[in-house]
Structure 1
Amino acid sequence: MWELTVLLLLATPEKPILSLHPPWTTIFKGEKVTLRCDGYHPLLLELRPISTLWYLGHLLLPSYKKSIEVHTPGVYRCQTRGAPVSDPIHLSVSNDWLILQVPYAAVFEGEPLVMRCRGWYDKTVYKLHYYHDGQPVRYFHSSANYTVPQARASDSGRYQCSGTMRIPVESAPMFSAKVAVTVQEARHAAAVRLLQVQSPRAPLRLGCGVHGPRAGGRGAGIVLVRGGYSHPQRPETQPMAATPGPRFSLGLGVHHRPGPR
């Protein structure tokens, strides 16, 4: 029975990995970013090319390429032939003077957490402050990224930045919108928890590895070995049903840029 289960799992394609380039969840109005879908391909060669389906909310986008350029805010997903729908990426578009950019991919305990405060179309930000849950955590004289070398669960929260810009003279302090950041449980802790729920009927060896292209932690997997079989499993194995329809859903709105002071 175990061998049959393993064979069925091996025959089930994994979710495609959706990545964002550059890897920031917020952009300025008028900018574009590239989404790339890396996923399952059938073992048999086919005469027609492998199609990729793209979704913005519940709307099916008119593209079948492996990567697309987008500028509309919302929740994006992709799907390759015969595979479940990918995990989502939330893209926000802002018209503010300052935006706080955080990684689109999950951040795990022990990994670096990097964010940047960006001025309107890359204008230099002076007297730059970063805030965590309303408390200042770092000051820079001018534009610089804020990095937590080894993130912990306590680093989760709402972040914000403030600063001035010369447009053309130095402005009053401006503030970005607040952005929620979640630091997830360390990978090895998830592996130990997975070991505890396995059946003790047969010997089990457990190890952590990287399966498939790594996209900011999205390609990490757990390798289970029992009875001579190995199967890389993603932390989330529940496929999401794709139900494209006529509805159009935007996940995040567009902010208005305040005028210079």
Structure 2
Amino acid sequence: MPALLPILFLLIIESSGAAVRPVVSFKPNWTRVFTGDSLTLTCNVAATANKDVEYFWFKDNKQQLTRSKHLLINSAETQHAGNYQCQSRSSDLSDAARLDVSYDWLILQVPQTVYEGDNVSLRCYSSRGHDGERTIFYDPDHKVLQDSNNESILIKDIRASMAGECTCAKEISGQMFSDKAFLSVKDLFSNPQIIVNQFAPTEGANVTVTCDASLSLLRLATELQFAFYKNGQNVQDFGLSHNYQIYPAQLGDTGDFTCEVKSSTSDIKRMSRSTRVQIYERFSSPQIKSSAQRVTEGASMTLTCETITKDTKDLLFAFYSNEEVAQGFNSSNKYPVQAAQLEESGNYTCEVRTTEHTVMKRSRELHIQIQELFSYPQIKRTTQGANLTLKCDTILTEDGEAAELQFAFYKNGENAQEFGPSNEHIVQTDLLRVSGDFTCEVRTADNSVRKRSRGVYVHSQGSTNYTSHNAVRMALSACLSVFTLYVVFHHVKTEVIGELGDGTSLQVSWSVTATELTS
């Protein structure tokens, strides 16, 4: 029944979810002592279990009476030799710690707990009343470590390679005695492991890569430093943080990660195994598509920004025309153009990003050429009798053959003829009031396309032509008595404007320039 007690306690601890394993330490820290020596055994538990007030000790699987954290041996006897274990109510059962008790002439004392990087003392210890002189220490390869009269040797910054069976020899009363002891060198910290906080992380996620390495309970005060590597390249130099943060994660952050741990007090280093961190697409690279293969002026079209994703509710879309913003970010992946115009031709792209702005992708360019419905109009002038006729000429393209067009005319920016089916405007040749800048405008019946011509300056005509030179003199004399008349003579149009007293007709055609009449 006593042999079952450690197992029963282990089952109780495991059922409560605890998995903290204590460590038994000796003070003095020797695994072998002579009879009569005293020592203290301590049950070292994790900080979470330090609040426990009751401990359980076992020697060779038999429970001991003490409930204290410490087990005292005041005067060692051979029956004290054995394997010691301990546990508390909230901890697991410790590993066994071996204690040997000897009554021989000489023992080689080695520490019960040795960790990499420790400064370790070995003692070639002779029994009371048998002091020795010359002492030799040998390593596990039987190489001499020290040959002197000193019964102790200090090995600084010990490494795991020193573990093994060591030997010491001492001259006592003219004779050489020797003893052997196994020196165990434990890892200062465990082999590091890469732990990723997310399974199958996607773009934009906050990914934490952790380098997990634990110190022994007896070396918790040791400071560790951590470094991280991706595909063999250093991405974070040695520091106190055991985390490497990837935020926001992008596809390019995918790679094979390793971490390295070292002690700040020595050059002990350990490298983890490689762990693949795969960042998955949150959404595919977008494609921009048009609802129409061929778009003419005035027609409607819709651009769509397509992407593949499991959830679109956290995505925003924007559209660009020739690198200028055409539609800012919003939840719609469509950009409607109600009445396309020639100037809207160009290279279009769309962009998708997450609402938190952690992932952004842009499409390739889509070139859209708006096809002309009709050409820009031109004003042409013709004369019909006494009137001037302005004609608004435009050419319908193949895409606009069925278009119904309307025409309007403007003089000096003011409307001279409202929109209608006629492309002609008759100008009354009223003396001195015809001059001005004329333009015309063409539009579709639904007003989706409008185009205006360049301006044409129409000026009043002014040159005189008398059938009688005397009549001209008489007319000019009459005018000069009131005005000084500056005339530019043209032979464009002749019009009867009156008759002289002798029956002679007065015919005048004119063109008044910058200064028409000056008093």
1:120 CA displacement: 0.6
Mapping for residues 1-261 of structure 1, pairs under 5 Å: 12=18, 14-39=20-45, 50-70=53-73, 71=76, 72-108=80-116, 110-121=117-128, 123-133=130-140, 135-165=142-172, 170-176=173-179, 178-185=180-187, 187=189, 190-191=191-192, 194-195=193-194, 198-199=195-196, 201=198, 202-206=207-211, 215=218, 217=219
Cα displacement string for residues 93-125 of structure 1 (whole angstroms, at most 9, x for unaligned residues): 1121111111111322x3333211111137533
RMSD: 3.4
The share of aligned pairs that are identical, in percent, is 21
Match of residue 3 from structure 1: none
Distance of 1:15 and 1:219 partners within structure 2: 18
Distance of 1:160 and 1:42 partners within structure 2: 40
SS in 2 for 1:154: helix
The answer to whether the Cα contact below 8 Å between 1:101 and 1:115 also exists between their aligned partners in 2 is yes
Q: Under a length normalisation based on structure 1, what TM-score does the superposition of the two structures give?
A: 0.64
The answer to whether the Cα contact below 8 Å between 1:210 and 1:221 also exists between their aligned partners in 2 is no
Distance of 1:208 and 1:30 partners within structure 2: 41
1:35 CA displacement: 0.6
Distance 1:107 1:173, change over 3 A: same
Distance of 2:48 and 2:187 partners within structure 1: 33
Distance of 1:82 and 1:143 partners within structure 2: 45
Whichever of the two has the greater Rg, that structure is 2
Distance of 2:220 and 2:182 partners within structure 1: 19
Distance of 2:130 and 2:122 partners within structure 1: 17
Distance of 2:95 and 2:221 partners within structure 1: 12
Distance of 1:141 and 1:149 partners within structure 2: 18
Distance of 1:82 and 1:93 partners within structure 2: 32
Which ranges of structure 2 fall in alignment gaps of 5 or more residues?
1-16, 199-206, 225-240, 246-519
Distance of 2:162 and 2:243 partners within structure 1: 34
The answer to whether the Cα contact below 8 Å between 2:136 and 2:147 also exists between their aligned partners in 1 is yes
Q: Under a length normalisation based on structure 2, what TM-score does the superposition of the two structures give?
A: 0.34
1:56 CA displacement: 0.3
The answer to whether the Cα contact below 8 Å between 1:208 and 1:221 also exists between their aligned partners in 2 is no
1:160 CA displacement: 1.1
Distance 1:186 1:107, change over 3 A: closer
Distance of 1:221 and 1:58 partners within structure 2: 35
Distance of 1:37 and 1:99 partners within structure 2: 26
The answer to whether the Cα contact below 8 Å between 2:138 and 2:145 also exists between their aligned partners in 1 is yes
Q: How many residues align?
A: 199
